[in-house]
Chains A and B, each alone.
Chain A
Amino acid sequence: EDQVTQSPEALRLQEGESSSLNCSYTVSGLRGLFWYRQDPGKGPEFLFTLYSAGEEKEKERLKATLTKKESFLHITAPKPEDSATYLCAVRAGGGGADGLTFGKGTHLIIQP
């Protein structure tokens, strides 16, 4: 059974204080690891897709990396508007329309 574990569950940072969020996964045949941002009561917003170990992607203050067992979402010099829940998800299996398995997310609060 596919499993995704995110840590920490919650993280409070000061504005400008960089940190990293962790996503550990166990899947049989990874076909993509995804990072989403979710604001309360809204749908998850796509951030990144990573497919193979060693891959890295960046977008503004965010950078996602992938190893064979985990992924990190690094946030550099965060601003209050970066406050949200960050969800990690994996897709396994052989079909192109397979559902995602999500972790429980990291609730990030950036204080001014």
Chain B
Amino acid sequence: AAGVIQSPRHLIKEKRETATLKCYPIPRHDTVYWYQQGPGQDPQFLISFYEKMQSDKGSIPDRFSAQQFSDYHSELNMSSLELGDSALYFCASSTPSSEQYFGPGTRLTVT
């Protein structure tokens, strides 16, 4: 079965640089979620989109923004990167009110 696709899988950036993470949901899933997981931590919800509109907002820094496009893929844009932004970033997708299926993640390292 098709799964959530994330790209890139690994990304290395320097402080103050910008990064863009991409997420392609499971076919026919119209809802996308972004999570951040630091080393040894549980996933923290950042933001979600339903039908290209922002739906719920968690602990997303003001330096981050995201959007969902007409083909339902989503991008997370991160600016002025800090060392503390180093983490695994997961995208999940679902149909409304159903369980969320997670992608393999993007490992971001900020040096």
Contacts and interface: CB of A to CB of B under 8 A. Distances in A.
B107 to A, nearest CB: 8
Contacts of B103: 43
B7 to A, nearest CB: 14
Interface residues of A, number: 24
Contacts, number: 70
B70 interface: no
Given A46-B100, A96-B97, A97-B31, A102 B50 contact: no
B27 interface: no
B106 to A, nearest CB: 10
Given A42-B105, A43-B103, A43-B104, A97 B88 contact: no
Contacts of B4: 43
Contacts of A101: 45
Contacts of A32: 97, 99
Nearest to B49: A97
B42 A98 contact: no
Nearest to B44: A102
Interface of A: 31-32, 34, 36, 41-46, 49, 87, 93, 95-105
Interface of B: 4, 31, 33, 35, 41-50, 55-56, 58, 88, 90, 92, 94, 96-97, 99-105, 107
16 contacts: A34-B100, A42-B105, A43-B90, A44-B43, A46-B99, A49-B99, A95-B56, A96-B31, A96-B50, A97-B55, A97-B56, A97-B94, A98-B55, A98-B56, A99-B35, A100-B45
